[in-house]
Amino acid sequence: DIQMTQSPSSLSASVGDRVTITCRASQSTTHYLNWYQQKPGKAPKLLIYAASSLQSGVPSRFSGSGSGTDFTLTISNLQREDFATYYCQQSYRTPLTFGQGTKLEIK
Amino acid sequence: QVQLVESGGGVVQPGRSLRLSCAASGFTFSGFGMHWVRQAPGKGLEWVATISYDAINEYYPDSVKGRFTISRDNSKNTLYLQMNSLRAEDTAVYYCAKDPGDGYNFYFEYWGQGTLVTVSS
């Protein structure tokens, strides 16, 4: 199975900041890496697919990059509604696997 | 707009069975693969099952293989998850999710609101 490891597990930031979350795969997933946002009590929401493609309707302050085993999600100009938990997920092969999540909190 | 509405969750004893349903609307259900993903209380996300648009192919992780079965009725725009031999560790919110294509993209474009399954005696 492909293990996905996110860092950091939690992060404090302020409105207007730029933050970066890292996701590392235990083996190459080429560009088959996706990012989700989840708010408390809500379903996850797709943000980025195929490592760097922005899902329709997602603000452009979200961006993704990387390939192979190392990927990043960057949020520029943090807004209050961005404080949530973020998950990466590999879609390279089954079993599909997620990172453990990164909780982004307000400083 | 895409809507996915899960139902069928509840409290069930270990070893018993439960069937979840997911009613889909707002898109051509028969043209898209579908998935189930679960989240144990306070924990992360775990993929549970995938079915292709035409129901020909199904995929499961080892944790549920042989106990859970994903299926679909394209005439009713409904996805199912039959869960047998339930264990305490199956306790979770179960989400259905839409694939962006035929089922072989293996990521989750839209999600339902989830239904809670609690396995307890």
Three-state SS sequence of chain A: CCCEEEECCEEEECCCCCEEEEEEECCCCCCCEEEEEECCCCCCEEEEECCCEECCCCCCCEEEEEECCEEEEEECCCCHHHCCEEEEEECCCCCCEECCCEEEEEC
Distance in angstroms between the alpha carbons of the first and the last residue of chain B: 40
B110 reaches A (C-beta below 8 A): yes
pLDDT of residue A13: 97
B104 reaches A (C-beta below 8 A): no
Kindly tell me if the per-residue pLDDT of A65 is higher than 90. Answer: yes
Kindly tell me if the per-residue pLDDT of A106 is higher than 80. Answer: yes
Q: What is the mean pLDDT of residues A65-84?
A: 97
pLDDT of residue B101: 87
Query: How many Cβ contacts (< 8 angstroms) between chains A and B?
Result: 56
In chain B, the residue whose alpha carbon lies closest to the alpha carbon of A101 is B44
A32 reaches B (C-beta below 8 A): yes
Q: Å from A63 to nearest chain B CA?
A: 17
Averaged pLDDT in 10-residue chunks for chain B of 121 residues: 98 98 98 97 98 96 98 98 98 98 91 98 95
The enclosing H or E element of B110 equals strand B110-111
Q: Å from B43 to nearest chain A CA?
A: 8
* CB atoms closer than 10 angstroms to residue B110: 21
pLDDT of residue B76: 98
pLDDT of residue B102: 83
Kindly tell me if the per-residue pLDDT of A89 is higher than 80. Answer: yes
Burial class (CB in 10 A: 0-12, 13-18, 19+), B111: buried
